[in-house]
Amino acid sequence: MDAVRNDNPFAVAPRGDNPFAKITDNVSRIVEAERPPRAWYIAFGIALMLLTIFLSAITYLAWEGIGVWGNMIPVAWAFDIINFVFWIGIGHAGTLISAILFLLRQNWRTSINRFAEAMTIFAVICAAIFPGVHIGRPWLPYYMMPIPNQMEMWPQFRSPLEWDIFAVSTYATISILFWYMGMIPDFATFRDRSKTAIRRFLYGIVAMGWRGSSRQWHRYERAYLILAALATPLVLSVHSVVSFDFATAQLPGWHATIFPPYFVAGAIFGGFAMVVTLAVPARQLFGLKRIITIDHLELMNKILIATGLMVGYAYGMEFFVAWYSGSMYEGFTFINRAFGQYAWAYWTMIFCNVVTPQLHWFPKIRRNPWATWVIGVIINIGMWFERFVIIVTSLARDFLPSSWGYYVPTFVDYMMLGGSFGLFFTLFLLFCRYLPMVAMAEVKAFHPSVLSHGHGHGEHHGESHDAPVAAHAGH
Amino acid sequence: MSDHKNDESSSTGSVPLHGLLAEYETPWQLVDASKKVRDARYQRWDTFTPFPVHGIDRAMGIRMTILPWIVLVAGLTGLASAILLQWWTNSFDYPWIVSGKPLFSIPANVPIMFEMTVLFSGITTLVGMLMLNGLPHPSHPLDLKERFARATDDRFFLLIEASDPKFDAKQTRALLETTGAAVLDEVLEDRVTSDRLPKIVTYGMIILTTAAMIPLALAAKARYTKSRDPRIHLIGDMDWQPKYKAQRQNPVFDDTRAQREPVAGTIAVGDLREDDHYFRGKVDDEFARTFPFQLPLTQQTVERGQERYGIYCAPCHGLLGDGRGMVTQRAESLIDSGRGRGMAWVEPTNVNQAHIAAQPVGQLFDTITNGIRTMPAYGPQIPTEDRWAIVMYVRALQKKNGAAAAPAPAPTPAPAPPTQTPEPGSNAP
């Protein structure tokens, strides 16, 4: 598309005399290069700076107590829980791409699933920090685990907050297992291409002696299918459980049966927005345009339209139910949400989440990488505001007018919000540099040259299938 | 590509043969070769590919793995563990009573049952896959073949092991030659890679294992020894908080008071006692001769006064108001029996005396509220309305006992005082 740029070693075509070797080289050279592009250093520097801010804010918080936040009765949950729900939602797109699209035989997912999964794990790490520090005594979160102790104290298993602990920790574990298992064959590729002993040793350790045996591939693929089948209901359950934190409370604006599907749709929406936000610069920077093509971006943008409409429907339905229920408190909450003191947040959310994605109806916009990126960033902002609107507007105007308040975040709140992006991008940039950013084995398996060829079941060479992508997904 | 006849490395020594390795350029060549090897009924052979080649399972005759059944068992174990965990902790070992909910009910426990089912299944899937595949598998004779590194890149390999019962150096080679292999090569057993761990790894593991025991040993020692020292407070702010404790100074505020003064110029709701007649029994600084308008002049009020009189006044003044209450009788019996040596007792006032009956009701109210001589103040104990009810009952007692006072209390309450603001919330006449 654009000319070869001198400062980017990845702008040239990958080496190799066959399509498989080209894929290998295209992905491996990112890790094997002497040094990454200059843009990587700049981004990494900024990310490290934000990470330092994050760690300082957490240290200050642990030292001083959560009074350093702006949370004040009646708004007892604010940036801490907003950021938690925001990050955990981001993660959902990764699992959706790696598990649900796998079960649905959407083979285009192979080029983006690896870094979507990485994004999931880093987002879950960012998310897990917030409930960990918001409990006030961040050295005691193990109280929430069922550990036998001298106080004979057990967790309360009928509380949605306890369900959260199990849902998020299970989600993190399964995501890491899924991610790691997917990388084993690619680690083996790195190991076999390594030029130095230490590189060979380190990638060899994590590749566990994988040599691509077909008997192992058989069990591997079965395990992958099982994990996908497990992760699919899991990802739906995680944000449902997160929504229970709100839906089981009796606060108007939270107490709604629409919350689980509404939260899941919003999570996928926000997560896909984050995937395109990361994919556009990554494919540019690391020369992955042949693997993550414009067609892939377009497919993701179509999912953004679909999930954006679902989220918009949920916003409308909340208002309808508030009116239809006849509950004066519900009615007040929603009128107040749209026209009260936080109207600016509400209309920011509507603009970012409902209006902006409609631009993707135009093929010119949804096939333009940088337009895609801008819209992705706007949607991320909108999804953060969605959680702000749900949490803060409902709490600030509760049942007793005498306790009404107005939430104002403090400097530490902003440091923790910005700093969590530092943690996320630090991990993501390290991932880009040291781990296989694209699932090479999966991309090769679905390469057109493999798919268009006769491949077993007694056919002879040269017999091509009429519907290559759809027909070859099954194993 | 290259001529496979050249690779006659078996003649280089006594290293035994591991197997024959054929290399192919395309996956479908490998699939066809696999069918031939399968049909020749070889058992110890395998193919190596950079990605899962579709259809090779059938071409090689690979049977379905038992992994899904292992995962099923693990999932059911997770489900059962979750049920047991929640039942045992929340309804058996320490029954948690929350909002009158049942101690154990399936719906509230479903989320954790689901999560633990998935958790157990997921971990078992990965671990089971690795174990069934014999991974980790650090070293393999194939690793010595430089060209085999392309098995994870772009080439497709087929290995028939020499340990296969049907293996025959010539026949097997002939079979593979018919499959169109790009390269056909012999693989020797690995006599290069050491089976022993490097010494530094061995010693490192010994040292680490030993060091890992130290905390456990300290914990075990602490468990079986007694100490007079207080336990270690790693983070002490929960134990030593800046807060008020009974009979101490309050460290939180400069004036060390625990009870805070109200904001200057403010009065708490209900504490505005502007109505002198009702709260102090006075009208224009003279004792009131009438009952305040807040007090309903009804039979219930007198009965309320009788009940309160019985509780607060009768122990000393007696049920008849004659000063012969139980406390008086007890004191006299102690003095009479000689047990109350050195004791003096002043008999409480007989409220039926004429000079008492002549007192205005406001004065009686004031006496009850603030006390007089040896009688303590009852204002802090008895609510205002009840004190007035007691006054009304005392008046009734005096009347009953013929202590005809000069002017009997006015039969009607005073009209609502025009100069006073009525107490908010009090019952107006």
Q: Which domain holds residue B52?
A: 1-211
User: Among A346-355, B19-28, B36-45, B183-192, which is the least confidently predicted range?
Assistant: B183-192
State which of B182, B211, B240 marks the end of a domain: B211
**DSSP 8-state assignment for residue B410:** P
pLDDT digits (tens, 9 = 90+) for B150-176: 999 889 999 999 998 888 888 888 888
Higher-confidence residue: B413 or B354? B354
Exposed, middle or buried, B246 (CB in 10 Å: 0-12/13-18/19+)? exposed
Across the interface, of A16, A18, A215, the residue whose CB is closest to B46 is: A215
Residue that terminates a domain, selected from B211, B227, B261: B211
Q: In this structure, is residue B258 part of a structural domain?
A: no
* pTM > 0.80: no
Q: What is the pLDDT of residues A132-191, one digit of tens each?
A: 899 888 888 888 889 888 778 899 898 899 999 999 999 999 999 999 999 999 999 999
What domain count does chain B have? 2
Clarify whether residues B64 and B186 are in a common domain: yes
Q: How far apart are CA A102 and CA B242, in angstroms?
A: 57
Of B59, B68, B153, the CB nearest to A192: B153
CA distance B225 to chain A (A): 17
Stated as kind and residue range, the H or E segment containing B160 is strand B156-161
The reply to whether CATH 1.20.120.530 applies to domain A19-137+157-471 is no
Task: Tell me how far apart the terminal alpha carbons of chain B are, to the nearest angstrom.
Answer: 117
Residue B405 lies in a domain: no
Instruction: Nearest chain B residue to A218 by CA: give it.
Output: B57
Of all residues in chain A, the one with the smallest CA distance to B119 is: A170
- Do B295 and B200 belong together in one domain? no
Please give the average per-residue pLDDT across B31-38, as a whole number: 91
Q: Is 90 exceeded by the pLDDT of residue A26?
A: no
Contact A220 B122 (CB under 8 A): no
Which chain B residue shows the shortest CA-CA distance from A192? B149
Closest Cβ opposite residue A154 in set B54, B93, B118: B93
3-state secondary structure of B283: strand
Nearest to A226 among B51, B125, B133 (CB): B125
pLDDT digits (tens, 9 = 90+) for A29-42: 888 888 888 889 99
Domain annotation covers residue B219: no
Share of chain B above pLDDT 70, in %: 90
A192–B149 C-beta distance less than 8 A: yes
The answer to whether residue B390 is domain-embedded is yes
d(CA B118, CA B122): 6
A157 at B interface, C-beta within 8 A: yes
pLDDT confidence band for A475 (50 / 70 / 90): very low
B217 located within any domain? no
Pair (B178, B86) in one structural domain: yes
Residue B164 lies in a domain: yes
Residue B244 lies in a domain: no
**Which H or E run includes B48?**
strand B45-48
**Residues 71 through 110 of chain A touching chain B, CB cutoff 8 Å:** none
Question: What local confidence, expressed as pLDDT, does residue A7 receive?
Answer: 61
Cβ atoms of residues A94 and A171 within 8 Å = no
- Residue B345's nearest CA partner among B335, B360, B358 is B335
Dist CA A418 CA A51 (whole Å): 9
CA–CA separation, A80 vs A64, rounded Å? 16
| Minimal C-alpha gap between A258 and chain B (Å) | 18
* B294 and B385 housed in the same domain: yes
A20–B154: do the CB atoms touch at under 8 Å?
yes
Kind and range of the H or E run holding B386 = helix B384-400
- The residue out of B194, B211, B228 marking a domain boundary is B211
B149 within some domain = yes
How would you class A3 by CB atoms within 10 Å of its CB: exposed for 0-12, middle for 13-18, buried for 19 or more?
exposed
Query: Among all residues of chain A, which has the CA nearest to that of B44?
Result: A215
